[in-house]
């Protein structure tokens, strides 16, 4: 069982796509264990995306990710990281496979509708970043 973090980004929330995206996720067999909709603080966006610090898209990404509410969703399932990444498609929406979340709802490399964890290790780290393990019972995170 993997853990993976899905973020429905401000563009997709503003476009009214929360329901369609969550339906795609659950129909793919992924199980939401905890979910929250809210604005992100700039400090947490900076910390969450710290691996991208210094890249040309980093500062614009801070502005975008704090521009409106997001949906944070902790997911579990067999091979959840791989399953969610297949469902989401590649970063750049015009290159995403037809039928994927980003092909359907993304518009630009930045406004690409969703974030999905890229490895099982990062899945645990990213879920832990937003959700205390105690909120995830009975599917408790690995220690
Ligand atoms: P995400 O999967 O959340 O990881 C980092 C985010 O930075 C990415 O989705 C995009 O929203 C954004 N991003 C990545 N590469 C670029 C780029 N070349 N130009 C603009 N935004 C980018």
Q: Strand 2-8's sheet: what is its strand order?
A: 31-38, 70-77, 2-8, 114-116
Alpha-carbon span 79 to 30, nearest angstrom = 9
Predicted local distance difference test score (pLDDT) of residue 136: 81
Predicted local distance difference test score (pLDDT) of residue 25: 98
- Ligand 1 neighbours by CB, cut-off 6 Å: 52, 57, 61, 91, 109-110, 112, 115
* Ligand 1 pocket: which of 112, 117, 118 to mutate (most atoms within 8 A of CB): 112
Alpha-carbon span 55 to 45, nearest angstrom = 15
> What is the pTM assigned to this prediction?
0.96
Q: Which residues of the chain have pLDDT under 70?
A: 142-143
Alpha-carbon span 51 to 15, nearest angstrom = 28
* Ligand 1 pocket: which of 12, 67, 91 to mutate (most atoms within 8 A of CB): 91
Predicted local distance difference test score (pLDDT) of residue 143: 62
Predicted local distance difference test score (pLDDT) of residue 137: 77
Cβ(75)–Cβ(62) below 8 Å: no
How large is the greatest C-alpha to C-alpha distance in the chain, in angstroms?
41
Q: Ligand 1 centre and the CA of 110: distance in Å?
A: 5
Q: Which residue's alpha carbon is nearest to atom 21 within ligand 1?
A: 110
The residue with tokens 């929330």 is 13
Ligand 1 atom at minimum distance from 7 CA: 3
Catalytic machinery residues: 115
3 state SS of 72: strand
Domain architecture of the chain: domains with CATH: 2-131 (3.30.70.141)
Interacting residues of 20 by C-beta distance below 8 A, sequence separation 6+: 104, 105
Number of CB atoms found within 10 A of residue 80's CB: 26
């Amino acid at each position: 069982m993997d853990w993976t973090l899905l973020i429905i980004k401000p563009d997709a929330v503003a476009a009214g796509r929360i329901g369609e995206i969550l339906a795609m996720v659950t129909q793919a067999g992924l199980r939401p264990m905890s979910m929250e909709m809210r604005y992100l603080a700039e400090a947490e966006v900076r910390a969450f995306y710290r691996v991208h610090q210094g890249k040309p898209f980093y500062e614009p990404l801070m502005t975008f990710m704090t521009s409106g509410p997001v949906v944070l969703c902790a997911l579990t399932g067999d091979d959840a990281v791989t399953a969610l990444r297949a469902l989401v498609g590649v970063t750049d929406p015009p290159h995403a496979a037809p039928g994927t979340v980003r092909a359907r709802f993304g518009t630009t490399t930045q406004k690409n509708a969703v974030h999905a964890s890229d490895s099982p290790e990062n899945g645990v780290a990213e879920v832990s970043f937003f959700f205390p393990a105690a909120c995830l019972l009975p599917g408790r995170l690995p220690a």
